[in-house]
Structure 1
């Protein structure tokens, strides 16, 4: 397994790097440390000669090498580094293919109104990348994950690919999973052919791990998920972002994006 983690050396990003390294050690995985190089503002506003620009690149690579070596020694894992002068989402797509990676780890800033409206680099990656993205908030530390809250729409069903990922995660971490549905009562769902078929598919997909259902009848999905995180004592939240067309995206607000920017625990986004 290969894990990619991006850093701009900020406090939030570096916390995510430590979290990713701990996961890599736990899973005996390779870690790819990635940095999207950005010219410092003071340098961008000057007529900088080519030699000075090259020095910035060299200094940045040295910093990446030193950080990689430090992580390798501290966590006893294989660490490689990549950095590029490009948009982070585009480069991450290329790196995922290059290294056949299974997970991207990114730091997540605290909740702000601006992020709710426009998102940020991490929420943009959740939206655009068709790969699992783990958003790690500042302060989150990997000390094993025993309880995973899987928030999904049971009635609409969950894809087999998503269930495979959830099961693999639970097995690798020896964690129990709560399938949490904010909709109608589960008893009502089971009376309907579609609902029964959906729950049977989840049962088949998660066979072999410890899991159970919990249903809450409410229209306040985000608030109920936040409440259940506390009640269940979840160490990680899993959500499946929905893909909307242009016009639909103007109406629908991404619950995954909003949850990512307001959590104290990591959020794993698994795309369909």
Structure 2
């Protein structure tokens, strides 16, 4: 993962996310971090006055765009003091909607990872990006990291991979996961959360051996767990907290519990309740 994209709306949540990306650079092989701000002005806004009867002039739009670029440059200057030596940081202003701006930038700049800040379950936030996490995660063709509000990066020592062992019957696209593990040297915990009480305490490693998952992850010497929980999502997040994991990785929904991840209610729950960053693989 050589290029990270961090959408910025100048909220505290977004600034914290950018600092997370900078800190993460010390444990990964990233070469380029892009700070993106989306500033979309519809044609109607230049033709019709707003509720205060003020008509937006072209000069006003250009002044606002210049101000946003200046703010991005300031954030860039601060982050350059925090990233690993040699990492490039660039700024980009999109004149499209946030969602389109992210998707277009991913394609044009060969982005490998998008890092988003979630505003959690707090309504006291001015983060526009936080409220669009679900939509961006759905539309984005590359992996997405969702960072909880206020989360401070202090290294990735343990990683939880949440998947349904039974569903991994063919090779899953885990190259990005392997690259992350090789670079960070993190301890890997593979967890299957189920609702079958009879399997509580079952030998999770033997369960995994019957799937492709075991051979795919064997070189990283993971520890396997099977836990029983009526709420799969909460079960995974509680497991991560109890084991002091610093990252939860959800394999593509074909191989994981997150078949319904792209349903807004489930995605919102994940983004709101996670106490550690969540990486959504694609």
Q: TM-score range by the shorter chain?
A: 0.7 to 0.9
Distance change (3 Å), C-alpha of 1:253 and 1:91: closer
Q: TM-score, normalised by structure 1?
A: 0.82
Of 246, 270, 279, which aligns to 1:235? 246
Structure 1 partner of 2:59: 51
More helix by share: 1
- What is the root-mean-square deviation in Å for CA atoms of aligned residues? 2.9
Q: Of residues 89, 94, 118 in structure 2, which corresponds to 1:108?
A: 118
Structural mapping, 1:16-165, within 5 Å: 16-29=17-30, 30-37=32-39, 45=51, 46-75=54-83, 76=85, 77-111=87-121, 120-157=131-168, 160-165=171-176
Contact 1:12 1:108 in 2 (8 A): yes
Residue segments in structure 1 that go unaligned for 5+ positions in a row:
114-118
Aligned residues: 254
**Using the alignment, how far apart are the partners of 2:265 and 2:274 within structure 1?**
15
TM-score (norm 2): 0.80
Against the structure 1 CA distance between its residues 7 and 97, is the aligned structure 2 distance closer, same or farther, given a 3 Å change threshold? same
Q: Is the 8 A contact 1:152 1:158 kept in 2?
A: no
Once the two structures are TM-superposed, the CA of residue 109 in structure 1 deviates from its matched residue by: 0.9
The superposition leaves residues 82-124 of structure 1 with CA deviations (integer Å, 9 ceiling, x where unpaired) of 11121222222221122222110010111269xxxxx931121
> Deviation at 1:265?
0.8
Give unpaired runs (5+ residues) of structure 2: 124-129
Q: Distance in 1 between matches of 2:243 and 2:106?
A: 33
